[in-house]
Structure 1
Amino acid sequence: MLSYVGRRLALGLFTVWAVSVLSFLIIQLPQGDFVTTHMTELADSGNSSAVYEAERLRAEYGLDQPIFVQYFDWIGGVVRGEFGMSFDWNRPVADVIGDRLVLSMVVSVAAIIFTWAVALPIGVYSAVRRYSIGDYTLTFLGFLGLAVPNFLLALVLMYIGFAVFGTDVGGLFSAPYENAGWSFAKAWDLLKHLVIPAIVLGTAGAAQLIRIMRANLLDELRKPYVITARAKGLPERRVVTKYPVRVALNPFASSIGFLFPQMVSGSIVVSIVLSLPTVGPLLLRALQAQDMFLAGAIVLLLGVMTVIGTLVSDLVLMWLDPRIRHAT
């Protein structure tokens, strides 16, 4: 067990390093850089000192150095906990990401709770009551949830909220609390605003997990050990919940690998539509502005969360399924 975890940690560190190299190179691929874009704006406004300002900024941020020197300067700072300065915001990257990262995690945790709370009982019900009216109804709703894009659902809910209830369901805070310090009232306001983002972000994932849970549980219910348990006279509830549901939970554990990075990024389009102050729109803005230190830090953070999520997923799978534990 410990040797397995050690191997996964070593592989995870290598993966994070590879992600840092690839993300830094990809961000550098477009022609020019942030200084080029900024100086073009100055030149268009009639500023004659654009050339000298560009040289000063490139020297200040180290953009006049070869790309490998820039990478090692950046990754060395990351190791020390310094992610560099954001060109676009003119602030340390850690300060720019900080609040948005916390809110991204809160939104995504709410979406994950909604996804699992909906998918688990409905998936079990659909498998146990297969081909019933309830199963057909839930199957239809599941396909509908997969077919409707998240951003379209967000627009529909925003229209209903405004047209029917006369309220704006966008954002995470009411106007009085947007710039206020944290308090119990602000936290409660945040919880009230989390309902719509959780539903929008969790609908497609819940619909997918319902179908997976139903298929896996149906497969388990046909196996000999379940037939034997029924023949021995065990209550049907115990027959279903003792082992088949536990084995069918494997997809839930496997989903942790991609749910962790979703905590950081979320759905960029949905965040823009709902005006959510999360990391997703920040990443889009950083890429458009070629703010390489900010974009690189967010992409690296996504890679780290993916590695952590995959490790946690593997450990949970080993706990749920003894077959996997013995195979390692």
Structure 2
Amino acid sequence: MTAFIIRRLLWMVPILLGVSVICFALLKQAPGDPVAILVADARQAGQQISVEDRARLREQYGLDRPVYLQYTDWLGQVLQGNFGVSTRTNAPVHELIMSRLPNTLRLMGAALILTFAIALPLGILSAYKQYSRLDYFLTSFNFIGISIPQFWLALMLLYLFGATLGWFPTRGMGSPYAEPGLWNSIVDVFRYYTLPVISVTLVSLAGYMRYQRAAMLEVIRQDYMRTARAKGLSEAVVILKHGWRNALIPILTLLGYILVLLIEGSIVVEVIYSWPGMGDLAVTSLSQRDYPVVMAIVMLSAVGILVGTLISDILYAVVDPRVRYD
């Protein structure tokens, strides 16, 4: 297992290098110029920017150098733990990331827990009650959940429960006017987290429930399930002890896929609900051509997905003793 983990960690290096090259090249091919945006903002503020000032800004951010040299400069800084300076705010990129990352982790963590808590038991129940009304209802829900665009769902939840009914706030992650006290803090967190967490959860819930149902149906037909029933074990013990653990094995391999969905979903949700997280920062930075921030977010997301995939492979071996990584 140790050798396998080391090999996987070493394989991450060329993968991350390839991601950085592709992302850097795509950003450089995109229309727009960071200096032109800075000049436009300065003119709107009533400031005059000369040609010399433009040249100085391009030199300051290294935009006057060839693209391959810009990439090697950026890579050299990253290897030293420095992601550069934001062209939009002139603040260190790592400070911007660290100010937003905890908010995104809270959102994704709550959505991941809710996804597992709902999808696993409902997927098992749907398989156990195959071809029943409950199974048809849950299967229909899965198809609808997979088909609905997430941005549309988030907007509908925002419009219905936020703007129309006024049950939940429409933006932000906390009220600055919340009354002190533990209970008031819990209520405030619940009100601000409910709609964003539901919007992110529904992205992965339908697909995950569908996979759990398929895995459980495969397990139910196995001989050891009939043997367990023949021994006189209760149906709950047969399903939960003998069935669920074996049905969980293929589901663990989807952890990396779920992380991709959560990252993708968090970007859309953070923009719609003005959630001060990484997704909102990524969209704002991309629109402002703030390339250092965008590159840092892309690389951090790639690392998270690769680590999540590695963890799922390790858990696969833990759950299934037959699996051995030589």
Q: TM-score, normalised by structure 2?
A: 0.89
d(CA) in 2 for partners of 1:251 and 1:224? 18
Partner of 2:172: 171
Alignment-mate amino acid for residue 175 of structure 2 = S
Q: Which moved more, 1:18-27 or 1:79-88?
A: 18-27
d(CA) in 2 for partners of 1:277 and 1:52? 36
Partner of 1:280: 279
Partner of 1:66: 66
Query: Structure 1's 318 and 68: CA in aligned 2 closer, same or farther, altered over 3 A?
Result: same
SS of aligned partner of 1:194: helix
Q: Where do residues 138-157 of structure 1 align in structure 2 (5 Å cutoff)?
A: 138-157=138-157
Alignment-mate amino acid for residue 71 of structure 1 = Y
Query: Structure 1's 268 and 93: CA in aligned 2 closer, same or farther, altered over 3 A?
Result: same
Q: Which moved more, 1:59-68 or 1:247-256?
A: 247-256
SS of aligned partner of 2:9: helix
d(CA) in 2 for partners of 1:265 and 1:207? 15
Q: 1:296: how far off?
A: 0.8
Unmatched segments (≥5 aa) in structure 2: none
d(CA) in 2 for partners of 1:153 and 1:260? 19
Partner of 2:324: 326
d(CA) in 2 for partners of 1:145 and 1:84? 40
Alignment-mate amino acid for residue 119 of structure 1 = A
Deviations 1:67-124 (A, max 9, x none): 2222222222222221111001221111222221110010011111111111011011
> Does 1:135 find its partner at 2:153?
no
Native 8 Å contact 2:168 2:192 kept in 1: no
d(CA) in 1 for partners of 2:73 and 2:187? 42
Q: 1:202: how far off?
A: 0.6
Q: 1:298: how far off?
A: 0.7
Q: 1:188: how far off?
A: 6.3
d(CA) in 2 for partners of 1:301 and 1:36? 27
d(CA) in 2 for partners of 1:116 and 1:66? 48
Q: Which moved more, 1:121-130 or 1:283-292?
A: 283-292
Query: Structure 1's 275 and 229: CA in aligned 2 closer, same or farther, altered over 3 A?
Result: same
d(CA) in 2 for partners of 1:101 and 1:184? 26
Native 8 Å contact 1:127 1:215 kept in 2: yes
d(CA) in 2 for partners of 1:57 and 1:252? 51
d(CA) in 1 for partners of 2:173 and 2:46? 40
* Same amino acid, percent of matched pairs: 35
Partner of 2:253: 254
Q: TM-score, normalised by structure 1?
A: 0.88
Native 8 Å contact 1:145 1:207 kept in 2: yes
Query: Structure 1's 309 and 225: CA in aligned 2 closer, same or farther, altered over 3 A?
Result: same
Partner of 2:115: 115
SS of aligned partner of 1:85: coil
Partner of 1:78: 78
Partner of 2:292: 293
Native 8 Å contact 1:209 1:251 kept in 2: no
Native 8 Å contact 1:265 1:278 kept in 2: no
Q: Which moved more, 1:143-152 or 1:184-193?
A: 184-193
Query: Structure 1's 298 and 187: CA in aligned 2 closer, same or farther, altered over 3 A?
Result: farther
Native 8 Å contact 1:23 1:300 kept in 2: no
Count of equivalent residues: 323
Alignment-mate amino acid for residue 326 of structure 1 = R
Native 8 Å contact 1:261 1:303 kept in 2: no
Unmatched segments (≥5 aa) in structure 1: 178-182
Q: 1:251: how far off?
A: 4.3
Alignment-mate amino acid for residue 153 of structure 2 = L
Partner of 1:87: 87
d(CA) in 1 for partners of 2:176 and 2:128? 47
Deviations 1:151-176 (A, max 9, x none): 22222322332433455343211243
Partner of 1:180: none
> Does 1:219 find its partner at 2:187?
no
d(CA) in 1 for partners of 2:228 and 2:139? 28
SS of aligned partner of 1:91: coil
Alignment-mate amino acid for residue 15 of structure 1 = I
